Copies of this chain bind each other. A is one copy, B any other.
Amino acid sequence: MKTFPLNAWYAAAYDVEVKAALLARTLCNQKIVMFRRKDASVAALEDACWHRLLPLSKGRLHEDQITCGYHGLVFNGDGRCTHMPSQETLNPAACVRAFPVIEKHRFIWVWPGDPALADPALVPDLHWNDDPAWAGDGKLITVKCDYRLVLDNLMDLTHETYVHGSSIGQIAVAEAPFVATHGNRTASVTRWMEGIDAPPFWAGQLKHATGHEGKVDRWQIIRFEAPCTIAIDVGVAPAGSGAPTGDRSKGVNGYVLNTITPETDKTCHYFWAFARNYCLGEQRLTHELREGVSTIFREDELILEAQQQAIDDRPGHRFYNLNIDAGSMWARKLIDKMIAAEAPAAPRPAVIPLRAA
């Protein structure tokens, strides 16, 4: 059973990670090497020399080309071999695979599937990550679990109450009703908690930004975009100031941006960022929020890795779903649909034609 589709854009790195140097990373069970060319574009190649498989990332980058660190074969950013030792003519088949690459919303996106299908319009929407109306920053963590467990985690925020009780969790999150909807490539879960006490994190943000203390209306609007991107619109506003009906002007708003790239079937690269629409110029706050959210995600990491181990202990186990799992069930259905669309067509049964005598 495949766990992810190949025909999709996957975040391979933060923009700042890819320089004029060789960066090795595994995506979707595929080892790749990336580098930034002199014209600032990014190349992504299969990380194995055509000749003897030494990872090209152990070679040297020179003039936008990689020289293999074993026998000196040279490959350009399109994957074509341009030099071989002791050899006049080059085998025209001497290529390593090159992957389509796009840089957008502060991520380097790689398409591991059929290059002919790599439509730039399919890059997931994480525009808050480089929109001047928002400020923020993020990190990459590599988690030892199937990327879908991270999606499950994000599609139901009930867990905040139990996993993140000291920061963003509160019993209201586990008790408030929610609405789940879905489209062709997206699924959403919306939860409003009106007239509640803000949890420690949000109480602090609202007071810092607006001076307000006291009851709030809190929202969490989770938007999944298949196969592995989730943007969560979160915030609080003074209770009764109109946020549920559209006026968020008295409150504070953030976006938790998440895109989770399978590294292997049981490990993933979790890229996240937190963007806010208040106190934009406060660098100290950006730093503080990045480190604070990092602590929260570390709490999730421990849970997710323990869950993956428990799953590994029970091959074939089928899960029971609760009401709270509505969002993640939709996310998984959309992923399964993408995977099924890539399956080779089943061979038609051989039919022996009958003919009338």
Contacts and interface: CB of A to CB of B under 8 A. Distances in A.
B162 A69 contact: yes
Contacts of A67: 162
Main secondary structure of the interface of A (DSSP, over half): loop
Nearest to A29: B313
A250 interface: no
Interface string A58-84: 110000000111111000000000001
Centre residue among A71, A158, A303, A311 by max chain B CB count within 10 A: A71
Given A85-B322, A162-B71, A310 B54 contact: yes
A152 B302 CA distance: 40
Interface stretch (A11-19, A44-52, A207-215, A331-339): A44-52
A306 interface: yes
Nearest to A84: B322
B152 A52 contact: yes
A147 to B, nearest CB: 16
A58 B55 CA distance: 40
Interface stretch (A86-94, A192-200, A236-244, A271-279): A86-94
Given A69-B163, A303-B54, A306-B58, A86 B323 contact: yes
23 contacts: A48-B314, A50-B320, A53-B307, A53-B311, A53-B319, A54-B303, A54-B307, A54-B310, A55-B306, A59-B162, A70-B163, A70-B303, A72-B158, A72-B174, A85-B158, A85-B175, A85-B322, A86-B178, A86-B323, A86-B324, A87-B322, A87-B323, A87-B324
